[in-house]
């Protein structure tokens, strides 16, 4: 046989194997996680962890307006494999000073065998702490927009694991609700559940579903196919569209966000994971040295009858200065009318002298953050004029509020704001916001956001249970930074608690301090009034606690029961323990601290904390690596420690 004929036969066999292969596998570096991608007519995938199936055969695809669905009849026309193994240093250190990005990746280009011959590119990654995949869609043969009406991605869950479900009931919300412990079978085709979506499979297997790198695409929610545990992807519809309408329009190549399946043998593995940030692009800001995390005071209605007047603002600047905090947040009404067509975010209200505020703050070594209403920012592209003005004033950051959406248009608006803010050296704190997606890696000025039922709910709700606060460490925080606004010092028992001004907080003082360690927010905004914090027990801890961290260790806990986490800043460790409403004793093993003797300062629930939650037992001890501490937690209680080399 001639050599050229052999080459033709070999080429034919290669193409045939690409076109008709049934399965492709992507395995994590530690070989514990295996993704199997199936292309027998319908594209789909499944996932195993330690040999146990965590995602059964699930499907991929899309439905469109004015064109047939893309859900079957594909052949593989190209495949690429690579190993990613690199380390990078985040500008803003939320959990680690250095992050390892290590995974196996498979990229498949698939094309319809007949009809329109449309293509999709599927990319799968397998990490030691989870799986991620996304789809690239291409232009159509006709000029103009393609319109997605439904993403067909499913997560077919075996059996009926326990789940923590946050139901929003609709697609336009501030994402401020409770994560409720349910069996997965509770979720229905009517459910609109938010992310992250945590599940306990039992036998040392934990799974959480979320997403990363949302750009020019809507966020998604969880429901199920009727009477099954096959979780469906529910995209937020565009404004003016109903749940069955158009979700995304695109006229050029489009990437979906990464669909992320976090996997570990304990909930702590998910808490420690950096998979969400790893799936985002490297820092896009050439010189991010102006981005400075820290704690901020806040002249907010939460802490009392706060008036938007110069003496009040100066009182809070003094407060920040006395506490050694770098920031003070000037809240709503500083520019007068808000959410109003006449609002002007470049001019202060008549009673406010912004130049004097900035001068006074500078004299106290404090920088100013400004609150803004989102429609005032957007109207007539006001932010394009305002942000350069804020930079000239010396403003450090902006807090934008009440977006309450995560459809494609709003996602793109977030990106516009973040980029414009970066150009003008402004950090951004979004409230009334959707969950984080790891964009802090690419734009570290996007330093924190709300999207949580946080401390403000103590003022007008009875939902802020200690169980809720504990669950946040295992659920919402898996997505990233969370502006919970801790620091309520009017601590009371459940029986004493009521909605009022000034606001009461239904947990102990030690539990409130633990939020500063357990919760992740590089810009941490403290909610309470200066008179309630200054010179009070525990205020000394707020003088020293950092907001960024070089390492994190999950110690112990369970959603809704308790959580114990250690974090390192430099060569010093901080430990936070938060309890639910039932007193208990937990063990803390100091196997992560430096060898040799260290000193440990402790702020613990006092003996009478069950009846007087403000009371603390403050003590100092010598400890060494390997010591085991018995920590007694009051009802609704907590415990914090600061450890440094002797």
- Write out the DSSP string of 147-192: EEEEE--EEE--S--EEEE-B-SSSSS------EEEEGGG--TT--
Residues 6 or more apart in contact with residue 275 via CB below 8 angstroms: 127, 129, 130, 132, 212, 260, 262
For the chain, the 3-state helix, strand and coil shares in percent, each to the nearest 5, are 20, 35, 45
CA nearest 338: which of 292, 299, 372? Answer: 372
Peptide bond before residue 502 is cis, with ω within 30 degrees of 0: yes
**Tokens 């939020």 — which residue?**
515
CA nearest 427: which of 453, 398, 406, 402? Answer: 398
- Crossing angle of helices 509-518 and 466-474, rounded to 10°: 10
- 469 in any annotated domain: no
- 288 in any annotated domain: yes
Question: What is the chain's mean pLDDT, rounded?
Answer: 95
Dihedral through CA 453, CA 459, CA 460, CA 462, nearest 10?
70
Please report the sign of the dihedral spanned by the C-alpha atoms of residue 436, residue 439, residue 440, residue 443. Answer: negative
Exposure string over 5-18, b if 16+ CB within 10 A, otherwise e? eeeeeeeeeeeeeb
pLDDT surpassing 80 at residue 571: yes
223 and 364 share one domain = no
pLDDT surpassing 70 at residue 8: no
Residue 292 DSSP label:
-
Residue 70 DSSP label:
B
Please state, in angstroms and rounded to a whole number, the distance separating the CA atoms of residues 60 and 42: 8
Residue 6's pLDDT is: 39
CA nearest 291: which of 97, 91, 24? Answer: 91
The answer to whether residues 196 and 207 touch, using CB atoms and an 8 Å cutoff, is no
Residues 6 or more apart in contact with residue 311 via CB below 8 angstroms: none
Please state, in angstroms and rounded to a whole number, the distance separating the CA atoms of residues 141 and 117: 10
Residue 87 burial by Cβ neighbours in a 10 Å radius (0-12, 13-18, 19+): exposed
- 85 in any annotated domain: yes
Above pLDDT 90, what percent of the chain?
Answer: 93
Residue 130 burial by Cβ neighbours in a 10 Å radius (0-12, 13-18, 19+): buried
Please state, in angstroms and rounded to a whole number, the distance separating the CA atoms of residues 237 and 172: 9
Residue 505 DSSP label:
B
262 and 122 share one domain = yes
267 and 327 share one domain = no
Residue 300's pLDDT is: 84
107 and 252 share one domain = yes
- 61 in any annotated domain: yes
Residue 413's pLDDT is: 98
Residue 370 burial by Cβ neighbours in a 10 Å radius (0-12, 13-18, 19+): buried
Mean pLDDT confidence for 436-453? 98
Residue 10's pLDDT is: 39
Residue 72 DSSP label:
S
350 and 415 share one domain = yes
CA nearest 171: which of 260, 242, 267, 67? Answer: 242
The structure's pTM equals: 0.95
Domain of 147 in residue numbering reads as 20-278
pLDDT surpassing 70 at residue 120: yes
**Tokens 């986490």 — which residue?**
565
Q: pLDDT tens digits, residue range 532-555?
A: 999 999 999 999 999 999 999 999
- 465 in any annotated domain: no
216 and 297 share one domain = no
Q: pLDDT tens digits, residue range 267-289?
A: 999 999 999 999 999 999 999 99
Please state, in angstroms and rounded to a whole number, the distance separating the CA atoms of residues 26 and 88: 23
In this structure, what token pair is assigned to residue 222?
């969880």
Confidence of residue 227 (pLDDT cuts 50, 70, 90): confident
Above pLDDT 70, what percent of the chain?
Answer: 97
Peptide bond before residue 547 is cis, with ω within 30 degrees of 0: no
319 and 213 share one domain = no
CA nearest 507: which of 335, 334, 634? Answer: 634
503 φ/ψ sector (left φ>0, alpha ψ -120 to 50, else beta)? beta
Last residue of a domain, one of 434, 451, 468: 451
In this structure, what token pair is assigned to residue 74?
């594909």
Please report the sign of the dihedral spanned by the C-alpha atoms of residue 453, residue 458, residue 460, residue 463. Answer: positive
The answer to whether residues 346 and 376 touch, using CB atoms and an 8 Å cutoff, is no
254 and 286 share one domain = no
Q: What CATH number is associated with residue 611?
A: 3.20.20.70
Q: pLDDT tens digits, residue range 336-380?
A: 999 999 999 999 999 999 999 999 999 999 999 999 999 999 999
The answer to whether residues 324 and 549 touch, using CB atoms and an 8 Å cutoff, is no
217 and 285 share one domain = no
433 and 297 share one domain = yes
Please state, in angstroms and rounded to a whole number, the distance separating the CA atoms of residues 393 and 442: 26
Residue 303's pLDDT is: 83
Confidence of residue 635 (pLDDT cuts 50, 70, 90): very high
- 4 in any annotated domain: no
- 13 in any annotated domain: no
383 in helix, strand or coil? helix
391 in helix, strand or coil? helix
Please state, in angstroms and rounded to a whole number, the distance separating the CA atoms of residues 494 and 481: 28
Q: If residue 554 lies in a helix (H) or strand (E), which one and from where to where?
A: strand 551-558
Residue 9's pLDDT is: 38
440 and 491 share one domain = no
Q: What CATH number is associated with residue 153?
A: 2.70.98.10
Residue 646's pLDDT is: 84
Q: pLDDT tens digits, residue range 42-56?
A: 899 999 999 999 999
386 in helix, strand or coil? helix
Count structural domains, the chain. 3
CA nearest 153: which of 132, 130, 167, 183? Answer: 132
480 φ/ψ sector (left φ>0, alpha ψ -120 to 50, else beta)? left
Residue 135's pLDDT is: 98
Residue 304's pLDDT is: 79
**Tokens 């939460």 — which residue?**
302
Q: pLDDT tens digits, residue range 480-509?
A: 999 999 999 999 999 999 999 999 999 999
pLDDT surpassing 60 at residue 15: no
* Residue 20 CB neighbour total at 10 angstroms: 11
Residues 6 or more apart in contact with residue 441 via CB below 8 angstroms: 90, 277, 278, 280, 281, 282, 283
pLDDT surpassing 70 at residue 2: no
Dihedral through CA 587, CA 593, CA 594, CA 600, nearest 10?
-70
Confidence of residue 78 (pLDDT cuts 50, 70, 90): very high
CA nearest 94: which of 415, 357, 444, 442? Answer: 444
In this structure, what token pair is assigned to residue 513?
């301090």
Q: If residue 14 lies in a helix (H) or strand (E), which one and from where to where?
A: helix 3-20
Residue 144's pLDDT is: 86
Please state, in angstroms and rounded to a whole number, the distance separating the CA atoms of residues 9 and 194: 52
Q: If residue 639 lies in a helix (H) or strand (E), which one and from where to where?
A: strand 638-645
Dihedral through CA 581, CA 617, CA 459, CA 372, nearest 10?
-120
Last residue of a domain, one of 218, 250, 278: 278
- 81 in any annotated domain: yes
Please state, in angstroms and rounded to a whole number, the distance separating the CA atoms of residues 42 and 110: 11
293 and 441 share one domain = yes
Please state, in angstroms and rounded to a whole number, the distance separating the CA atoms of residues 270 and 480: 11
Last residue of a domain, one of 238, 263, 278: 278
Confidence of residue 141 (pLDDT cuts 50, 70, 90): confident
Confidence of residue 118 (pLDDT cuts 50, 70, 90): very high
């Amino acid at each position: 046989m001639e050599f050229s004929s052999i080459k033709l036969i070999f080429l034919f066999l290669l193409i045939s194997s690409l076109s008709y292969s049934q399965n492709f596998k992507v395995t994590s570096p530690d070989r514990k996680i295996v993704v199997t991608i199936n292309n027998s007519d319908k594209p789909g995938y499944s996932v195993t962890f330690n040999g146990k199936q965590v995602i059964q055969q699930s499907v991929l695809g899309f439905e469109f307006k004015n064109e047939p669905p893309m859900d079957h009849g594909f052949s593989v026309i190209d495949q690429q494999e690579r190993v990613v193994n690199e380390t990078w240093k985040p500008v803003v250190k939320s959990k680690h000073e250095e992050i390892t990005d290590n995974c196996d990746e498979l990229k498949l280009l698939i094309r319809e065998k007949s009809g329109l011959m449309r293509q999709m590119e599927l990319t799968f990654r397998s990490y030691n702490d989870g799986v991620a995949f996304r789809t690239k869609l291409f232009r159509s043969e006709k000029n103009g927009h393609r319109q997605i009406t439904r993403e067909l991605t499913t997560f077919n869950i075996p059996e009926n694991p326990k789940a923590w479900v946050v139901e929003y009931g609709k697609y336009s919300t501030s994402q401020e609700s409770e994560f409720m412990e349910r069996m997965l079978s509770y979720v229905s085709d009517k459910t609109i559940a938010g992310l992250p979506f945590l599940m306990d499979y039992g036998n040392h297997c934990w799974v959480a579903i979320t997403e990363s790198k949302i750009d020019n695409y809507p966020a998604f929610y969880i429901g199920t196919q009727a009477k099954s545990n096959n979780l469906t992807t529910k995209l937020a519809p565009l404004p003016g569209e109903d749940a069955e309408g158009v979700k995304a329009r695109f006229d050029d190549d489009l990437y979906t966000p990464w669909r992320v399946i976090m996997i570990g043998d304990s909930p702590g593995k998910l808490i420690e994971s950096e998979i969400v940030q790893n799936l985002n692009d490297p820092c896009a800001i050439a010189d991010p040295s102006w981005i400075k995390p820290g704690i901020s005071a806040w002249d907010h209605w939460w802490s009392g009858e706060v008036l938007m007047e110069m003496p009040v603002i100066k009182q809070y600047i003094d407060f920040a200065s006395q506490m050694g905090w770098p920031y003070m947040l000037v809240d709503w009404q500083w520019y007068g009318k808000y959410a109003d067509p006449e609002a002007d975010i470049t001019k202060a209200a008549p009673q406010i002298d912004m130049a004097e505020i900035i001068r006074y703050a500078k004299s106290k070594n404090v920088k100013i953050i400004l609150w803004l209403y989102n429609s005032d920012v957007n109207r007539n592209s006001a932010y394009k004029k305002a942000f350069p003005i804020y930079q000239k004033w010396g403003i450090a950051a902006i807090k934008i509020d009440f977006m309450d959406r995560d459809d494609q248009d709003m996602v793109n608006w977030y990106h516009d704001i973040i980029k414009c803010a970066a150009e003008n050296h402004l950090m951004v704190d979004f409230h009334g916001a959707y969950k984080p997606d790891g964009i802090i890696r690419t734009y570290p000025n996007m330093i924190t956001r709300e999207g949580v039922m946080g401390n403000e709910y103590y003022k007008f709700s009875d939902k802020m249970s200690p169980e809720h606060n504990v669950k946040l460490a295992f659920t919402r925080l898996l997505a990233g930074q969370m502006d919970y606004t801790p620091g309520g010092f009017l601590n009371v028992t459940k029986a004493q608690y009521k909605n009022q001004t000034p606001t009461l907080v239904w947990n102990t003082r030690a539990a409130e301090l633990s939020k500063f360690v357990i919760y992740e927010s590089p810009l941490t905004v403290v909610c309470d009034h200066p008179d309630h914090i200054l010179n009070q027990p525990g205020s000394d801890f707020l003088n020293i606690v950092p907001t960024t961290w070089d390492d994190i260790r999950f110690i112990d806990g369970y959603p809704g029961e308790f959580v114990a986490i250690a974090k390192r800043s430099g060569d010093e460790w901080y430990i936070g323990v938060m309890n639910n409403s039932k007193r208990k004793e937990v063990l803390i093993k100091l196997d992560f601290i430096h060898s040799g003797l260290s000193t440990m300062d402790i702020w613990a629930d006092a003996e009478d904390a069950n009846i007087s939650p403000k009371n603390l037992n403050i003590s100092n001890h010598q400890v060494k690596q390997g010591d085991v501490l018995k920590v007694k937690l009051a009802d609704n209680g907590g415990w914090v420690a600061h450890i440094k080399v002797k």
